[in-house]
Chain A
Amino acid sequence: MSLYQLQKFLYVLNRDEQAQRQYKADPDGLLSGYQLTDEEAGALKNGDIGLLYVLGVNGQILMHYAAFLGIEWFDYLDLMREGIRRHGPVRAGVYAMTGGGASFAVEETER
Chain B
Amino acid sequence: MSLVYAGVLSHAPGITGRAHLVKDTAKRDELYAHFEQQRCEIEATGPDALVVIAAEHFANFFMNNMPAFCIGMAETYEGPIEDPAWLRIERRRIPGAPDLSRRLVREVMQTVDTAYAEEWKFDHGIMVPLHFLTPEYDLPVIPVNINCQGPPLAPLHRAWAFGEALRRACDSVPERIALVGTGGISHWPATPDSGKINEAWDRDFLDRLMRLDRDALLSYTDEETYRDAGQGGFEIRTYIAAAAAAGGPGELQYYTPDLPIFAVACTVARFDIA
Contact = CB atoms under 8 A, between A and B. Distances in A.
A59 B23 contact: no
A63 B187 CA distance: 15
A62 B83 contact: no
Contacts of B87: 67
Given A15-B59, A105-B260, A94 B121 contact: no
Contacts of B82: 14, 64, 67
Contacts of A108: 195, 261
A4 B191 contact: no
B190 A97 contact: no
Contact of A98 (B23, B58, B196): B196
A77 B192 contact: yes
B83 A106 contact: no
Nearest to A94: B231
Nearest to B232: A59
B18 A104 contact: no
Contacts of B22: 107
Contacts of A105: 194-195, 260-261
Interface majority SS (helix, strand, loop, mixed), chain B: loop
Given A15-B121, A67-B82, A104-B196, A97 B59 contact: no
Given A60-B149, A94-B231, A98-B230, A104 B83 contact: no
Contact of A80 (B18, B191, B260): B191
A96 B231 CA distance: 9
Contact of A97 (B13, B62, B193): B193
A46 to B, nearest CB: 20
Interface in B220-255: 226, 230-231
B188 interface: yes
A47 interface: no
A107 B23 contact: yes
Give chain B's interface residue range (CB within 8 Å of chain A): 35 or more
Contacts of B150: 58
B155 interface: no
Contact of A94 (B21, B57, B60, B151): B151
B225 to A, nearest CB: 11
Interface string A13-57: 011000000000000000000000000000000000000010000
Given A15-B81, A15-B121, A104 B58 contact: no
B236 to A, nearest CB: 15
Nearest to B85: A67
Contacts of B57: 58, 60-61, 64
Contacts of A88: none
A1 B35 CA distance: 44
Contacts of A59: 189-191, 231
Interface in A56-85: 58-64, 67-68, 73, 77, 80-81, 84
Interface of A: 4, 7-8, 11, 14-15, 53, 58-64, 67-68, 73, 77, 80-81, 84, 94-99, 101, 103-108, 110
Interface of B: 13-14, 17-18, 21-23, 57-60, 62-64, 81-83, 86-87, 121, 123, 149-151, 188-197, 226, 230-231, 260-261
Given A81-B192, A97-B192, 6 more contacts: A59-B189, A60-B149, A67-B83, A104-B193, A104-B195, A107-B18
27 contacts: A7-B58, A7-B62, A8-B64, A11-B62, A15-B60, A15-B81, A58-B58, A59-B190, A63-B13, A63-B190, A67-B83, A67-B86, A73-B14, A80-B191, A80-B192, A95-B191, A95-B231, A98-B196, A99-B196, A104-B193, A104-B196, A106-B23, A106-B260, A106-B261, A107-B21, A107-B23, A108-B261
